[in-house]
Amino acid sequence: MRSRILSILLLAFLAACSDPASRSDAQSTAAAKPSGLRGPPLPSATRRAPTDAAQVKLSFSPVVKKTAPAVVNISSKRVVRQVDPFFEMFGMGVPRARVEGSLGSGVIVRSDGIIVTNNHVIEGGQEITVSLYDRREFPAKVLLADAKADIAVLKIDAKDLPTLAISSGEDLQVGDLVLAIGNPFGVGQTVTNGIISALNRTDVGAESVSSYIQTDAAINPGNSGGALVDMDGNLIGVNSMILSRSGGSVGVGFAIPGPIVRQVVDTALGGGKTVARPWLGVAGQAVTGEIARSLGLDRPEGLLLADVYPGSAAARAGLHQGDAILTVDGQAVNDESSLNYRIGTRKVGETVAIGYQRDGKAKTVRVAVETPPSRARDQQLLQGRNPFDGAVVMNLSPAAAIELDMDPFVSGVLISEIRGGLSVNAGLRPGDLIREVNGRKIASVADLKSVLAGAGRAWAVEIERNGQKISASFNL
């Protein structure tokens, strides 16, 4: 009986916060600002408990009516050619075409047909179809697919569509009521409700630039790319993944927050093909209890800097090894992922306030964030009588390393591909870093080619693989 009363009160709380006519930004913001993407932080609902029986009888339906029409279904198809495994063993068989498909959801964020979804929903798709709330279907083209954020921006040829405004998320709090809208298991549009279970989740086993919103609203396969909305009808996140042993929802779902979605959409609308994310230029570890005591902190918090990239924004601001970064613009930082999120969602050139501790004293420094350093890749296929014959090499910079999901503090010449030749017999692999050849340090592709041009038949090579140095000699 007590649990039933609590459930009724929870619904009443939702209804008390839901007055779409006066507060929803889902339609009004899009009308005032056609993109629905820029402007001051969106207003938030007033949090209050129900005060009478009439409020207890109210429901989620006013929010759903305002938001559901802007959530779409997405199907993606690709043709895969495959040979029967039995015949493949004997080098025989004719490839057969097989169509693979995936189903997901998306959200209309601009009335002229701009839609966001997860990158993994459309990845590899050769034919993408968007089905609207009113059952109309449109072919879609990809404006930008960002694998790191797991966000893709699509465009369909339609006008005057319902939209959801992307929230800045600045006022989100754990315990806030939310709705998840999508197409689970392909059954059709479905609405589930829950709360924000946690904010700024970074260590959830996903390679991403996001700091996720965790929710207990039911999210299942097919919900990917769908909307997570607040009680004002604003898009606070794009549902992306779940943690589950069974494959179904167990109340641990994660959504990519609005600022990340906004960043990718703004880049796509500006004609960009890659998202330029600022980089502070530091590496470190989360402060443990033992480290906190040694630093004079009253609790474990912050990121202890183990390295600062020379010439980076952090280095020029005076940060150095041993400093503990505690906040970015007043927002707590507790690991490297949360720092990358706080910095990465800023615009290039924007100034942020870094709060840190040094020698037991709290300090603040303002830093103009910038993209990671880059240089010409000079990617080349090497040929000739040398151990690198058939290897494709390139200059590695922090920008290239981040793009390749490598440590940005590692530089040098990278083997990006092996196309055969003597490099196969030499045991070289993609991902190897060439450190030294015949006693000469290799810092660039030009250095390597210079050594190869003047050497004979004997070769002494040192490479770095997975952080370990390997030396070998060859006579060719």
Catalytic residues: 120, 150, 224
* Most distant pair of Cα atoms in the chain: their distance: 91
φ and ψ at 366, to 5 degrees?
-100, 135
* CA 292 to the chain's CA centroid: 30
Say how far apart CA 215 and CA 67 lie, in whole Å: 18
Residues in the chain: 476
Query: Helix or strand or coil: residue 29?
Result: helix
CA-based radius of gyration for the chain: 26
Are the beta carbons of 85 and 134 closer than 8 angstroms?
Answer: no
Say how far apart CA 209 and CA 344 lie, in whole Å: 8
Question: Residue 295 is encoded by which pair of tokens?
Answer: 């630093």
Strand partners, 212: 201
Find all residues with CB under 8 Å of 256, minimum gap 6, and list them. Answer: 118, 149, 150, 151, 208, 210, 212, 213, 237, 238, 240
Helices (H) and strands (E) in the chain, counts: 14, 26
Say how far apart CA 94 and CA 68 lie, in whole Å: 46
